[in-house]
Copies of this chain bind each other. A is one copy, B any other.
Amino acid sequence: MPHQHLIKRLLAVSSLSEAEQRALVRLPYAVRNLADGETVVHQGERPRGCTVLMRGFLSRQRVISERNQISAFYVPGDVPDLHCLHLPTMDHDLCSTGPSIIASVSHGELRQVLRDFPGLTYALWGETVVQAAIYREWVENLGARAALPRVAHLLCELSTRLQKVGMAENGKMLLPFTQADLADACGLSTVHINRTIQELRRRRLIDWQGQTLELLQRAELEFIAEFDEEYLH
């Protein structure tokens, strides 16, 4: 199993023995480079391994009533298709947003290690628990918040998750997302996302030029978004 952040996070939730950590680290994997927009797994496929995102961003998406709806963003250390150990078919597309690098760990070998080291099963279950908490937040975000706080909440979440894996500092990060991506994630039109971002800029809450996003007044932004990072641990 690759990636330090994944292992670090597994350690944070559950505590792993030396042997367990070693077994995890020794799991073989295949690395693959992805170009912007490339699809890792297609809806309907039955992947033979789990994907660990090592670098860059992935998004989970599917077309719902003629709209492309993004239901999750993944950052390095995430395992977007971990659930395929239990439910074999992917019911979404998994796409690279910007260039990225993934590692694939065979289901068979992973299952074997999980049988040998039950503590690892528990730890990976914890990963699913965290992802579920994020989905819940998205449900609330889409169901209850108006455009401005909704976008603000997403940006806060991204910033926090990126910070945890060392890809953001002081709310400053490199994001390959287009406004259309944000729109797909927030359930808004690109036009309205554009206006919402402009409003966030006007209020000096964010600075977003090219691929560089900076959250300027974190406290104020979190207040508007009712953001509480608790759910991300």
Contact = CB atoms under 8 A, between A and B. Distances in A.
Interface residues of A, number: 49
Interface string A115-134: 10010011011101111110
8 contacts: A64-B143, A69-B140, A91-B133, A118-B121, A121-B125, A128-B128, A143-B185, A143-B187
Nearest to A131: B132
Nearest to A123: B86
Interface in A191-233: 226, 230-231, 233
A19 interface: no
A144 B65 contact: yes
A72 interface: yes
A29 interface: no
A135 B185 CA distance: 14
Interface string A95-139: 000000000000000000011001001101110111111011011
A186 interface: yes
Given A131-B132, A139-B139, 4 more contacts: A69-B139, A86-B130, A87-B133, A89-B230
Contacts of A144: 64-65, 67, 69, 187
A144 B139 CA distance: 12
Given A115-B118, A187-B142, A72 B125 contact: no
Nearest to A116: B118
A220 to B, nearest CB: 16
